[in-house]
Amino acid sequence: MKPPPFRWSSPGTTAEAVALLAADPRAKVLAGGQSLIPLLNMRLASPPHLVDINRVAELDAVEVTGDGVRVGALVRQAHLERDEAARKVCPLLGDALPLVAHPVIRNRGTVVGSIAHGDPAAELPAVAALLGATVRIASAAGVRDVPADVFFVAPLETALRPGELVTSVWFPAVPPATGTAVVELSRRHGDYALCGVAATVDRETGAARAAYLGVAPVPLVLDLPADDPGGYAAASVDPEADIHATAAYRRHLATVLTRRALAAARDRP
Amino acid sequence: MTEEQHHITLHVNGVPRTATVPARRLLSDALRHDLGLTGTHAGCEHGVCGCCTVLLDGEPVRSCLLLAVTAQGAAIRTVEGLAGPDGALHPIQRAFAECHGLQCGFCTPGFLMTTAGLLDRSPAPTDGEIEESMAGNLCRCTGYQNITTSVRRAAELLAAGQGGDPAGPWAGEDPQEPVAEAPLAAGPYAPPPGGGVPGEARR
Amino acid sequence: MTTRVFGERVERREDPRLLRGEGRYLDDLGHDALEVAFVRSPHAHARVLDVDVTAALDVEGLVAIYTHEDLPGRLADPLPLLIPHPALTAPRTAHALAKDLVRHVGEPVVMVVAADRYLAEDAADRVRVTYEVLPPVVGLDRAEEVAAHLVQEVGDVDAALAAAPRTLELRLDIERSASTPLEGRGVYARWDADDQRLRVYSSTQTPTSVRFAVAAILGLPDSQVECVAPDVGGGFGVKIMHPWPEEVLVPWAARLLGREVKYTEDRREHFVAATHERAQEQHVRVGFDDDGRILALDVRFLHDHGAYTPYGIIVPIITSTQLPGPYVLPAYRVEFSSLYTNTVPVTPYRGAGRPQAAFCMERTVDRIAAELGLDRAEVRRRNIVQPEQMPYDLGLTFQDGRPAIYDSGDFPATLRMITDLIGWDDFPRRKAEAAAEGRRIGIGLACYVEGTGVGPYEGGHVQVEPNGRVNVSTGLSSQGQGHQTVFAQIVATELGVPMEDVHVVTGDTRRFGYAVGTFASRAAVMSGNAIALAARELRAKALRIAADALEASPDDLEIVEGIVRVKGSPDAAIPLRTVAVLSNPLRYSFSEESRAATQFSLPVRGGPPVPRGEAPGLEGRDYYSPERSTFANGMHAAIVEVDPETADVTILRYAVVHDCGNLINPMIVEGQIHGGVAQGVAGALYERMAYDEHGQLQNASFMDFLMPYATEVPHIEIAHLETPSPLNPLGIKGAGEAGVIPGSAVLAAAIEDATGVAIARMPVSPSELFELQGGSA
């Protein structure tokens, strides 16, 4: 389990990184590496060229305003998890980040990397989808902002094109009087969830919205009806069976976890 | 088919070490095979088991999920850097011995370094924090019970000021290079001003 | 006696070195060795039509590529059948490199040697193998080819079943799991052309047998081959299997190339190229009376043996003979068929057939209790062997070919202890309280008896150097059991020396050439007793020499803290190290101490300097070879909570009562139990080898093979009962495997109690439990 050979570049700026990616459309971006390097070690991926952005200091920034949180491409998950200001503006991040793998993985894994990887079983894409986050993408052609709802295209497939680099993700602030929660069930602590629900509830109107992970090809966002939201969720998800759980069980979890997530979000002080 | 080589310097246990490696060399392999520090073990090479955990600029990370070239210039602390230069066991190591926190010992360096990272950030962890922190590392021998007991004991020993020689836990001894050459005053492994407790320097 | 450390919670001698990162595991050795990678079959069943290495030849650093055609002499033959048995009528073993056919995914086809593992993998990737894919057989329901069939019967089962007032039938299943040590397999070999010797390091549980196998297969005299097990990062059974293809190929290549060669198995290889265990399908008929007393038990089971049977049929034999557990079975018949499938071969994994046996027997007893509406502990109490029935002969032939006779144990006491520890009698109240809160909790109880310390033998050597250092060696190897500590405790106690003076070496054929290996919870029993006997021999010799020097009778002497002295007059004393000097009459002095033993220093007495029947040096060597195995026993109880909506299972309490005879080091025994229980929990709730119908292992990684983390393993409460074994000098029984054995049985019982759903298949996931409950919670 050793990576195949590849060319390695270590740009110091976003501009350099983008130039390198533009020059070699088959190049892959290396940030935290917590998903990419296992694939390399197993030789399930063999990119000819890795553009290692770990020295692009400008990408290692969290900007918190009253409107939201902008997370740079080099911000480690553990870093954001400990950022009280960001958690305050965007409590869902604080709910979701402790559920991402294990603390040591979060020390290295990046928030943006998890989103760019586009795993429908991961927590952060679901949070991004639920909040209507915006993915900022740089390339030789310039910068574009892509809303999360069109960024996630299929399992492990995003709107990112060859030559592009996600430089940051903007998570809008959770509106006032909105309760949030993330609940999930995984086989072992820290595993990908069999099903997970990230939810927001407007405590004044009762309006509830949830994003589902692990039960659809991309993070699935639902505006939940007041009447039997769990049943609505179960009818809306599209889970697949694997060695860990049947599709029927995952669908059942969507019902149960919806109920629990909404209750937790409502009860949130 | 000749692979491009990169010259890198890693500050391992306070000592600058150089190696010439291809870009794909995993940090775990660089430590073990290029630098001969075989205390860091590779148990799965896909980031799940935690045997290869080392401190990178003070934070525990999986060295099997990090390219050595990415770590260029970083401060790395491995299990070899825990004990003092006189060979005295670090309080974390003593706790694991006292509490029978290891059997075959293969996963142990990863648990020790994870514990070092935890107690650095949280000197008096709750049982929940301990379980959460240890839950990223696999052990097939102990059933974990004695490991979590060891971590609690390590926190006690450290709190009791049994950190030993101030340079102990920080200035890892290197067989090839005299410790005196190590840039101890710089970087996160600089000896804390008056105490040998990991993390004191940053608090 | 101050030096009595036997029975104490002594900190481990191994630990300081391992804690400093100074352990020497296989891949820590051979810094300059060439490294090996294998091209392994991607198909479960296929014919190898062609191997084309052309594209691999220009990989930088490539040294050699080998296929079966390159293998000389016996290396080209199938690997040894380690344990032949008359019932194993169609044995099959693999070739070191596939010859024509591959029978499971992961079977080695081509061996690549290169400057390092990265380059070896590069070259392996470029080798093109053409296969004709054949239909695979996966799973017991599709298996037909019988490797072995064996029936054992005690009493007239058909008659007893016909006469029984009540009968029940059960169908039970257990899936595959595996040892999965955190260090995989590994072999490193170097040929010393000057000495004409081959040294093989292997991460093995049996270096002595690897040595003999390598010598035989490579056509070398035993005396030219030495094998060392360095620090071994866990074994749990998989490393008792030998010789692996890699274990003969690497030494062969090292000698052929005249270079050091190393193979370090990676995690993915360990899943598909080492071995698995457990999978059985069991069919039970049991006859009993209205009081729940068992009258007859008839068990027929199918055992999935995978593609090959190198380790014989030890696992199903153990299941067969350990199935009765602590119970009196007036009539018992067990019949198994070992079946071939196109999956990784099956060899022992901690417990070795016993978890399946306990699952079968304990599920059966629970069903009897349910049928009669009796308390499950009460049904057990009515059926267990009483202390006065010891030794209790099962009438069966055990895995060592010798009769299975329980030597000791107090099962009623164990049962009382476990029900007290878990609060069995009070549980109905707790359960009702929980139910009132909408919570579902349940309790389970499971028992086992474990044959430990199987022969044929182990040996021990103890030697005192003139500086007082006590060297101990035994041939079997260590994988974390703390042998260096417990054997030192035994020697310190037997000899009367400080434990710090005792230094133990295991698993090195240069130090001790005769041994069997570490498996079947046998190391403490076998080597422990052998070492004790060797220490006693040494002690007797020391007393003879000291008696001579002190002009006393050996019977009047004792050894305390390394000093031989006359009992009652401590001034008449001589240090053991001086006795060591005197034991070796010298012509030449080489140190201050040794002067005392030179020819003009020693008093001249009648007879030769070394009396007939004595040997120079203060050492003892002895062997322990038991007539039959000793039987440890225990009982586990667990309380679980099952989420009424998600069917997620949480273990609230897990209690163990354990009887392994006299405890050498309770701390280490408890550590063994903890680890065993963790593997039991794993096998019950998390781990399985998930093959698809094509024979592809779908979860060959730690991402998907769910080895528990700290968050999944419960706190374990332990109580010990010590009924010494009458069979061996130390009165001990094995402890290594006990913790894992009743795991599936006890958790199935507790989940069943919590949910009211019959649990007949393990492991069980929340998803499966949800389906068992009818797909609704």
What are the distances in angstroms from CA A249 to CA A190, C492, C649, C689, C760? 20, 59, 15, 21, 20
B127-134 vs B108-121: helix crossing angle, rounded to 10: 140
Window from B105-119, B187-201, C240-254, C740-754 with minimum mean pLDDT? B187-201
For residue C476, pLDDT over 50 is answered with: yes
- Please answer whether residues B93 and C22 qualify as being in contact, where contact means their C-beta atoms are separated by less than 8 angstroms: no
Q: Any idea which fold A7-53 has?
A: 3.30.43
Which chain C residue has its CA at the smallest distance from B49's CA?
Answer: C702
Which of A42, A54, A107 has the CB atom closest to B46's CB atom? A42
Identify whether the C-beta of residue C276 lies closer than 8 Å to the C-beta of residue C689.
yes
Strands (E), C165-231: 166-174, 186-192, 197-202, 225-228
Q: Which of C21, C701, C710 is nearest residue B78 as measured by Cβ atoms? A: C21
For range C464-492, the mean pLDDT: 96
Chain B hits for C21, CB-CB cut-off 8 Å, are 37-40, 78-80, 82, 109
Interface of B with C in 115-154 (CB under 8 A): 131-132, 134-148
pLDDT of B191 reads: 34
As for the ipTM of the complex, it is 0.96
How far is Cα C252 from Cα C246, in angstroms, rounded to an integer? 10
Q: How close is the nearest chain B Cα to the Cα of C479, in Å?
A: 5
Shortest distance, CA A75 to any CA of chain B (angstroms): 14
Question: Which residues face C654 on adjacent strands?
Answer: C638, C716
Determine whether the interchain pair C706/A188 forms a contact, defined as Cβ–Cβ distance below 8 Å.
Answer: yes
Q: pLDDT at residue B186 above 70? A: no
Rounded CA gap, C650 and C361, in Å? 24
**Topology (CATH) of A61-172:** 3.30.465
Which of C325, C348, C534, C538 minimizes the C-alpha distance to C454? Answer: C348
Hey, are the CB atoms on C709 and B135 less than 8 Å from each other? yes
Q: CB distance A10–B69 less than 8 Å?
A: yes
Query: Would you place residue C1 in the very low, low, confident or very high pLDDT band (cuts 50, 70, 90)?
Result: very low
CB within 8 Å: B47 and A38: yes
**What is C234-302 written as a DSSP string?**
--TTGGGS---HHHHHHHHHHHHHTS-EEEE--HHHHHHHS-BB--EEEEEEEEE-TT--EEEEEEEEE
Pair C597, C576: CB distance under 8 Å? no
Please answer whether residues C252 and C66 qualify as being in contact, where contact means their C-beta atoms are separated by less than 8 angstroms. no
Q: Which amino acid is at A131?
A: L
| Closest C-alpha to A74, from A36, A113, A37 | A113
Count how many residues are written for chain B: 203
Q: Which domains does chain B have, with CATH numbers?
A: 1-81 (3.10.20.30), 91-159 (1.10.150.120)
CB–CB of A187/C686 below 8 Å? yes
Residues near B56 by Cβ (< 8 Å), separated by ≥ 6? A107, A108, B63, B66, B71, B74, B75, B76
Q: Which of C178, C200, C271, C186 is nearest to C232 (CA)?
A: C186
Whether A19 shows a pLDDT value over 80: the answer reads yes
C775 touches B: beta carbon within 8 Å: no
Distance CA B67, CA C543 (A): 62
Q: Span C427-443, mean pLDDT? A: 98
pLDDT value for B163: 55
| Cα separation of the two ends of chain A | 48
Strands (E), C31-72: 34-40, 46-52, 62-66
Q: Which residue has the tokens 């344990």?
A: C83
Q: How many residues does chain C have?
A: 777
Looking at chain A, how many residues does it have?
269
* Cα distance between residue B21 and residue B6, in whole Å: 5
Cα-flanking dihedrals φ and ψ of residue C211, to 5°? -60, -50
Chain segment A86-131, per-residue pLDDT in tens: 999 999 999 999 999 999 999 999 999 999 999 999 999 999 999 9
Question: Exposed, middle or buried, B174 (CB in 10 Å: 0-12/13-18/19+)?
Answer: buried
CA distances from C74 to A235, C343, C583 (A): 63, 25, 47
Q: Is the dihedral of CA C2, C4, C5, C8 positive or negative?
A: negative
Asked whether the predicted pLDDT for residue C129 surpasses 70, the reply is yes
**Other CB atoms within 10 A of residue C192 CB:** 12
Angle at B112 between CA B110 and CA B113, to 5 degrees: 65
Close Cβ partners of B102 (under 8 Å, ≥ 6 residues apart): B96, B108, B111, B141, B142, B147, C15, C18, C19, C480
E strand or H helix at B59: strand B59-62
A1, A52, A78 member nearest B70 (Cβ): A52
Q: Judge: B32–C27 Cβ closer than 8 Å, yes or no.
A: yes
What's this model's pTM, rounded to 2 decimal places? Answer: 0.95
CA distance A75 to B93: 32
pLDDT of residue B169: 42
Rg of chain C on CA atoms, in Å? 28
pLDDT of B200 higher than 70: no
**Cα distances (angstroms) measured from residue A219 to each of A166, A194, C251, C588:** 18, 13, 53, 84
| Helical segments of C564-603, H only | 576-582
Query: Does the beta carbon of A101 lie under 8 angstroms from any beta carbon of chain B?
Result: yes
Question: CA dihedral in degrees (C647, C649, C650, C655; nearest 10)?
Answer: 140
Q: Does A42 touch chain C (CB under 8 A)?
A: yes
pLDDT beyond 60 at C456: yes
| Alpha-carbon distance values, A18 to A5, A116, A165, C539 (Å) | 22, 16, 7, 78
* Cβ-proximal residues to A98 (8 Å cutoff; 6+ apart), any chain: A81
A124 touches B: beta carbon within 8 Å: no
CB pair distance less than 8 Å for A188 and C709? yes
Query: pLDDT tens for residues B46-84?
Result: 999 999 999 999 999 999 999 999 999 999 999 999 998
What's the average model confidence in pLDDT over C367-378? 98
User: Nearest CB to B50: which of A33, A78, A104?
Assistant: A104
**Is C373 or C569 the better-scoring residue by pLDDT?**
C373
The distance between the two most distant Cα atoms of chain C, rounded to a whole number of Å, is 93
What is the average pLDDT across A251-269?
Answer: 94
- Does the beta-carbon distance from A105 to B136 stay under 8 Å? yes
Distance CA C583, CA A225 (A): 92
The candidate with the shortest Cα–Cα distance to C209, out of C254, C241, C250, is C241
SS (H, E, C) C475-538: CCCCCCCCHHHHHHHHHHHHHCCCHHHEEEEECECCCCCCCCCCCCCCHHHHHHHHHHHHHHHH
Q: What is the CATH number of domain A179-267?
A: 3.30.390.50
Average pLDDT, chain C: 96
Phi, psi (degrees; rounded to nearest 5) at B16: -70, 130
Distance, in angstroms, between B53 CA and closest chain C CA?
12
Closest CA to C308 of C76, C80, C519, C99: C80
Q: Does C467 touch chain B (CB under 8 A)?
A: no
Tokens linked to C712: 């999944």
Test B106 with C25 for CB contact under 8 angstroms.
Answer: yes
Instruction: Look over chain A and give the mean of its residue pLDDT values, rounded to a whole number.
Output: 97
Q: Per-domain residue ranges for chain A?
A: 7-53, 61-172, 179-267
Most B-contacting residue of A82, A107, A187 (CB-CB within 10 A), to test interface: A107
Average pLDDT for residues C424-440, to the nearest whole number?
A: 98
Minimum-distance CB partner of C716 among B51, B139, B143: B143
Mean pLDDT, to the nearest integer, of C717-735? Answer: 95
- How is the beta sheet containing C101-102 ordered, strand by strand? C101-102, C46-52, C128-133
pLDDT digits (tens, 9 = 90+) for C305-332: 999 999 999 999 999 999 999 999 999 9
> Following DSSP, what letter does each residue of C722-749 receive, concatenated?
----SSSTT-B---SSGGGTTHHHHHHH
Cβ contact B136–A104 (<8 Å) = yes
Domains of chain C from N-terminus onward: 32-135+179-273 (3.90.1170.50), 352-454+627-768 (3.30.365.10), 455-624 (3.30.365.10)
